[in-house]
Structure 1
């Protein structure tokens, strides 16, 4: 029997979640719910499922839910389902505050209910490649830049983009951030739109993260510097170039690598379903997501002290 899934919040991103659940071989999309019932009806009609007027109506009809609402609503919606022992995948950030994140983790644990967070970049093959090739790293630079769009602008660029990279860094190198320097600017929104962060990990490794939602074009890449090579990866196209040092002229060679592109959201959805079926262990815990949010909050606080 297929697991019954539903999505709460079917705006731009939520619709993709609903489509992936519907396409999964071991799950069945039974319905969608949205703050705008008209929107829920529209998406439900397109997907051939039920539109729920409110989340309370979904209890008894679902085996799991994806919460893809606005960040400010994450806690209220996820809390409701976890208290009713319905497994939840909530989009990142886990909640509006780390305090709420910790509370959701406590509720999930006390109710023995599966709970994870949609840090989708963990399923990006380009970052899996980085994790496999991290040995000997001396420096890492991650760039995640994009033009302004109103979608996602209800929170700062730190909550929207930087949180991806903070989670990735601690997952890839398996050690905490012990210090950081930060510069940021508010250009369009009252919250930070552009930021540059320099992290120091426990081992002393230095990492620079540049995030922006006010650049002319989309830029997604990283540069990993090692003792005898440099790996440059375009994380959007999955194309890598590795410069290897040689002892004779021309003193270096370039090796190109193509990583087959995969649907990261489909991988994320599948992983959660496999966990529900007892075939996998959660890759992303609520506690890990909360720690990333705690670091974001520290950065926001430091910027506010400076008046940035």
Structure 2
């Protein structure tokens, strides 16, 4: 798809729909209903009662998939990952632009076929890596090109959201930070190591990018919700809080001993900058960007290729964690095409 504006932006409302209205999909329906020059024309879900309830809440209709695609210009696909491929392919074949929640698909090959189909039909296929649209992340993204980065460290931690629900923090949570780190460094990792628990509720990975090291931790067993990123650069140290949408930049840090009434006292001082951030809901920014790409015929901010690269990395991390013999050893990055039919789509709104 061209990255240049090739057509006049339409003045008629963009017709939007949502497929899958669980916790995440319902939020997509809410935001579409609030966006200017966008009409939420319907929602669809295998649970018709849930679909009707969400439709009533946001002033639209619950319809079957075929009718929804007849009505829509764009749709969000917010369903379990194992049905992404079939549903997204169906939408694209009906010439409907798609935002599909992360991860893009169950396998890298499925993701590539989806991307090829979207390209063949000149349609937007955007992947729902919502943290790209967090105002704090965007602020750091503007800074990082001017920094000599040494390392990045991401923590995405919290308590269980449902003790009985299946899931894997590598695919549900860590995938966000894999994508953020890759987008900031504009690169894919050369090698990585990883460790985690057998139940899939805690994992840590170290990713190597030439002369930069990124350490990522994801947890559903931590009794505090944490969403943080830190950047160590030769010029400064940057702290990002995703939840607070805040950024702190520490510069000119120095230690010294001072004389305090005859006593030697140690102190450490630094200059702390707090950049101004235009706070806002990341999901709203994400959907505004998606609709704008559709209207202008431009490449989406998070492309299918971005989603495929993130999926390759988390599959490799998961493969290392699953293999006891590899826990203590590095492994060259390679796609792991293991079938993950048991994987469930994360229903948590990560940026809230």
Shift of 1:151: 9.4
1:34 equivalent in structure 2 = 45
> SS where residue 101 of structure 1 aligns?
helix
Q: What is the aligned counterpart of 1:264 among 282, 305, 320?
A: 282
Q: 1:104-139 deviations in whole A, cap 9, x for unaligned?
A: 111111222211111011101221222222211111
Describe how 1:118-197 pairs up with structure 2 within 5 A: 118-134=128-144, 135-150=147-162, 153-186=165-198, 190=199, 192-197=200-205
1:142 and 1:17, CA in 2 relative to 1: closer, same or farther beyond 3 A?
same
SS in structure 2 of the partner of residue 177 of structure 1: coil
Q: Which residue of 1 aligns with 2:319?
A: 301
- The alignment partner of 1:144 has SS state of strand
Which secondary structure state, in structure 1, belongs to the residue aligned with residue 323 of structure 2? helix
Which residue pairs with 2:245 in the alignment?
Answer: 238
- CA distance change for structure 1 residues 68 and 246 in 2, over 3 Å: closer, same or farther? closer
Structure 2 residue 217 is the aligned partner of structure 1 residue 199: no
With normalisation by structure 2, the TM-score equals 0.81
> Is 2:122 the counterpart of 1:112?
yes
Structure-1-length-normalised TM-score: 0.92
Deviation at 1:84, TM superposition (A): 1.2
Tell me the matched-pair count.
302
- Mapping for residues 212-291 of structure 1, pairs under 5 Å: 212-245=219-252, 252-257=269-274, 259-278=277-296, 280-291=298-309
Change (3 A) 1:137 1:36: same
Contact in 2 for aligned 1:101/1:290 (Cα 8 Å): yes
Structure 1: which 5+ runs fail to align? Answer: none
CA distances 1:165-216 after superposition (whole Å, capped 9, x unpaired): 1111111111110000101013xxx4x1111111101x32011111111110
Segments of 5+ residues of structure 2 without an aligned counterpart are: 1-11, 257-266, 328-352
> Larger C-alpha radius of gyration, 1 or 2?
2
Runs of 4+ off more than 6 Å: none
Give the Å deviation of 1:243. 2.5
For CA contacts below 8 A with separation 6 or more, give which structure has more relative contact order. 2
Give the whole-Å Cα distance in 1 for the aligned partners of 2:47 and 2:111.
25
